[in-house]
Amino acid sequence: MKKYRILIFIAGLSALLLTQYKLIMPFAYKVIASDLFLVDSKDQASQIAISTPLSAIAYMHCNNYIKSELGPDVTLVFPEKPLNAWTLGNYQYLISAEFTITSDTASTSTKKYVCRITYDNGDNEEGALDFENWSIIGVSGI
């Protein structure tokens, strides 16, 4: 059995590669080409920074989230508009902005942050002002 060990290893590896090449990859390509992951939405992604009413509301909700995370011990001042805002499609927004933070020790600094936020109600924009209809996916820089 010891002298056939390498031969069994090569045969097993060949069978594994052949299975990957002939069965698994064609199936994966069919799944990718299907409409399984297609999201049909009026909100299209954009590589250019945008300024829409919904992106302004997303900016406001990101600011409120940051205020709640940092607590009442600090004073935060946010500009009127973000530095940049992009739509990722399907009502997902990426907000790049900054704020001025003043702590109890009277030290003041400016911090930049990025917030990824999603509007959960899709095309129905009636509840956009309610924070319960938004999901913060992540905030970096605070």
User: Residue 39: pLDDT band by 50, 70, 90 thresholds?
Assistant: low
Average pLDDT of the chain?
Answer: 87
The domain total for the chain is: 2
Domain residue limits at 14: 2-33
Mean pLDDT, residues 103-113 = 83
Mean pLDDT, residues 34-50 = 76
Domain identity same for 58 and 24: no
User: Residue 1: pLDDT band by 50, 70, 90 thresholds?
Assistant: low
Domain identity same for 9 and 57: no
Asked, for residue 39, whether it belongs to a domain, the answer is no
Residue type at 13 in one-letter notation = L
Angle at 27 between CA 26 and CA 32, to 5 degrees: 95
Domain identity same for 113 and 68: yes
Answer yes or no: pTM beyond 0.85: no
The pLDDT of residue 49: 83
